[in-house]
A and B are shown apart, each in its own frame.
Chain A
Amino acid sequence: MEGKNNIYNDNKFNIRNMMNKGILSSFFSALVAVFLGLIIGFFVMLIALPANALIGFRHIIVGGLNRIGDVFYYATPILMTGLSVGFANKMGLFNIGASGQYTMGMYFALYVAFMWDLPDSIHWIVACLAGFVGGMIWGAIPGIFKAFLNVNEVITSIMFNYIGMYLVDMLIQGNSAMYVSDKTRTQYIPAEVQMPSLGIPNSNVNLGIILAILIGILLYIVLQKTIFGYELKATGFNRFASEYAGMKGKRNIILTMAIAGGLSGLGGAFGILAPSGIAGSSMTYEPINIIAPAGFNGIAVALLGNSHPIGIIFSAIFISYIQRGGTLASLAGYKPEIIDIVIAVIIYFSAFANIMNTAILGFIVRHFGKGRKSGNTLANDDIKEAE
């Protein structure tokens, strides 16, 4: 429409222009989702135990501040699985198999840690790389099924969660060098193979979080600046157009799933190789037939971060933060599950964040904008349809 040139010429500061850039809008919608999630969480606490609601809620909000090192410690695995899910999502693939890839990553890292004899200086690095490879294999297989047989990756990767978990449990239980049967877990990973700690007293924070953030930034660069990222996003937006433009769709599907799997696998390696004072949270694997929750938390992280690598860095840290606060809420007599409800509500809201974003920013523009009577923020879509 010719009239839209008006916007082009209008350089004045304006919420709409910032919204059009997309950054503000997804950030804003994540904030709104968090805000609403917290409010509803507060009401849940109020119903569960009215007397302590305020104290418990305070723990959730600011509790994480007291344990900031642990916030980062727990953020590392879910940041990696979040990046994994978000990266695949950019290509229009739903990698629900992050858990299986995470588990495979843990196993590969454990295997290298226990079974290979390597110099201390590179042992943990090789173990991490092995984790990457393990996850990569577990991600690539659904990718191959998708590319050549057009099998929905959601189904294969869910199945691969189970296959991976049982396979790893079986392999670990059958390996007497790693498995201590009377403790029903593996031995602790020797200190030489653990990730270097950042040396902050009273916390378990280690190099993993730094690496994970760097990987997030690297992914951002890949997606925004490279040909591979261009092809990947184009395929995600419109598979037919990417085919028309001669992109190698099959290769890109397999590559994307392999990288996504590798990221989850690396998350598994970071998780299990981390030095930790919190019993059972790291350094050992318990084959107890449970699918790793880190994978599903990764889906939540990716959703809240709008699949944007930088957004995912923040959302992983945020979710870890609120989880730490949630465990503290038990001091006020709440079950830790309360915080899972709050997180679920936040995710629930971020899932339809765009709608809220439209409604709320539309409201702001309408009432505080430049006095335009109609401030429908869906303008572009409307005009498109009006044509």
Chain B
Amino acid sequence: MVKVVDMGEYIIEMLNITKIFPGIVANDNITLKLKKGEIHALLGENGAGKSTLMSILFGLYQPDSGEIRKNGKVVQINNPNDANDLGIGMVHQHFKLVDIFTVLENIILGVEPNRMGFIQKEEARKKVVELSEKYGLKVDPDAYVEDITVGMQQRVEILKMLYRDNEILIFDEPTAVLTPQEIRELLQIMKGFAKEGKSILFISHKLNEIMEVADRCTVLRKGKCIGTVNVKDTTKEELSRMMVGRDISFKVDKKERKPGDVVLSVKNLNVVSKTHGKNLVKDVSFDVRAGEIVCLAGIDGNGQREIVNAITGLEKPTSGTIILCGHDITKASIRERSIRGISHIPEDRHKHGLVLDYKLEENLVLQRYWQREFQNRGFIKFDSVRKYAEKLIDKFDIRSGQGPITITRSMSGGNQQKAIIAREIDKDHELLIAVQPTRGLDVGAIEYIHKQLISRRDAGKAVLLVSLELDEVMDISDRILVIYEGEIVGELDPKTTTVEELGLYMSGAKRDNVKEINDGREE
């Protein structure tokens, strides 16, 4: 690989940047230097100050002290337009697209080529098509953004930067929303950009990805810069130590355990979509036993959500039965299922898991506020709630600004997730359903959550895990059920299978007749 320019030149230098929010120093004297043509990773836990630093570079915040230089010259970036003029573009973690516009309209938004006020769409289309072909960013310029996949939306965001001829590209946790295949593609595209001479800042806390694509890596911890290292001279372990400040074990410690009685039994479950009449779940049957972690693995959108919703009661299945500890709960209310022993760590913690405007203590009793312990003749016993919240905060190490009375919205993602886990685990349960419990969390929090799931299994509870992360699936489950297009296409043992084999099942390239396997076992 021939680098187009000499690597000694820094295209962007952020020198001694300090940014203080009331009550917190988000960036404390951070220096970051980006070379031309490199992929520079920015690594740190949630709340380490990565996004703040990038927001400063993109003109969303002003630093309290420090300066930014481009090609050695001091520049003032007051807003994203200034950043754009300097050739800085950013793909945000949450995409900034207009849903009801087409891909093309989104790309040219704000820089529409026009002649006397009339948009010249053909001109724009030519440029977009050229760019998309050149970099292998497949998009349909005339599709509406609301109709395309998340992966394609991200490509639109990338094309937006390219269309504006940006040469410094910031990617804010770009892989969090992608499937394994899409991640691989994206990393290839990023490498292509670097080869072209574009400079990339890659915010992430996924060490594998950093090891794969980045040239250098700057690590932040609690707003401070811990150091910048050459990726090829370091290891995953060293990076994680720099990020968390202690050793992290990547291998999950798990003892052998014999599964007990069947806790959850799903039989011939079918879910037909209300919007387009397609069968989202086709005749799915499986059991989860006490003391085992069963993982429902698959690419996002293959029916996992519908199965979980049918079990938890959020959505009615079209047909089939669901039996929990011997009781048919197919038609039971959500509350009844909860009382019978289902705990549910939902996929979207902001949408389902928490009332963000409630205090932490109020969220911690969200599944139990109606119980004797917390109410007396319809009045909430706030003393008991406070005591209980303090107990959980202590036991599960939930960190927040003001303890039980912190407004949940102001807490970090990892601690919000901890609050949900504390609530669901501490409640009486026989079955714990955890849907992507580690999504968007950093290494330390992931390690913690995995330990909690395993502790549930060891306590003799049944655990149903839905995950898109192959490593997670392989590490902590006792049994893997692979789901593809609403059907269970394989049952695998993580001890004897490989990630590659799992991937084949997930992509539909390989399948067993699981129904036969199940029927055979019953007889």
Contact = CB atoms under 8 A, between A and B. Distances in A.
Interface of A: 1-8, 10, 16, 20, 225-228, 230, 233-234, 237-238, 240-248, 365, 372-377, 379-380, 382-387
Given A5-B401, A7-B402, A374-B22, A246 B410 contact: no
Contacts of A237: 355-358
Contacts of A387: 46-47, 51, 412-413
Contact of B401 (A4, A227, A376, A377): A4
B204 to A, nearest CB: 14
A61 B295 CA distance: 69
A230 B379 contact: no
B335 interface: yes
Nearest to A245: B366
Interface of B: 19-26, 46-47, 49, 51-52, 55, 61, 64, 222-223, 312-314, 333-338, 344, 346, 351-358, 362, 366-367, 369-370, 375, 378-380, 382, 399-403, 407, 409-410, 412-413
A227 B380 contact: yes
Nearest to A22: B407
Contact of A386 (B22, B52, B313, B380): B52
Contact of B353 (A227, A241, A365): A241
B354 A241 contact: yes
Contacts of B402: 7-8, 20
A242 B21 contact: no
Given A2-B47, A387-B51, 8 more contacts: A1-B24, A227-B370, A228-B378, A238-B356, A245-B338, A245-B367, A248-B335, A374-B19
A382 B312 CA distance: 34
B180 to A, nearest CB: 25
A300 B61 CA distance: 36
The 4 A-B residue pairs with the shortest CB-CB distance, nearest first, are A246-B335, A4-B401, A3-B24, A246-B334
15 contacts: A1-B47, A5-B399, A16-B22, A227-B380, A238-B355, A238-B356, A241-B366, A243-B314, A247-B335, A248-B333, A248-B335, A382-B21, A383-B26, A386-B49, A386-B52
Nearest to A4: B401
Contacts of A384: 409-410
A219 to B, nearest CB: 15
B243 to A, nearest CB: 14
A26 to B, nearest CB: 14
A4 B399 CA distance: 9
B24 A225 contact: no
B375 A241 contact: no
B407 A374 contact: no
Given A5-B401, A241-B352, A380-B409, A372 B366 contact: no
Given A244-B314, A246-B334, A387-B47, A4 B23 contact: yes
A295 to B, nearest CB: 28
B355 A386 contact: no
A225 B352 CA distance: 23
Residues of A contacting B: mostly: helix
A222 B65 CA distance: 49
A52 B352 CA distance: 59
A3 B223 CA distance: 9
B20 A373 contact: yes
Nearest to B402: A8
A213 to B, nearest CB: 22
A241 B351 contact: yes
B380 A225 contact: yes
A20 B21 CA distance: 15
Nearest to B346: A244
A376 B52 CA distance: 14
A374 B314 contact: no
B351 A4 contact: no
Given A2-B399, A4-B401, A227-B369, A375 B22 contact: yes
A373 B382 CA distance: 38
A376 B21 contact: yes
Contact of A1 (B61, B336, B378, B412): B412
Given A227-B380, A376-B21, A244 B352 contact: yes
A8 B47 contact: no
B356 A386 contact: no
A228 B49 CA distance: 40
Most B Cβ at <10 Å: residue of A1, A234, A247, A374: A1
B352 A7 contact: no
A374 B18 CA distance: 11
Nearest to A228: B378
Contact of A234 (B47, B337, B366): B366
Contacts of B334: 243-246
Nearest to B354: A241
Contact of A8 (B20, B52, B379, B401): B401
Nearest to B312: A244
A383 B314 contact: no
B433 to A, nearest CB: 12
Contacts of B47: 1-2, 383, 387
Contacts of A3: 23-26, 222-223
Contact of B358 (A10, A234, A244, A385): A234
Contacts of B23: 3-4, 6-7, 10, 16, 379
B222 A2 contact: yes
Nearest to B333: A246
Contacts of B24: 1, 3-4, 6, 379, 383
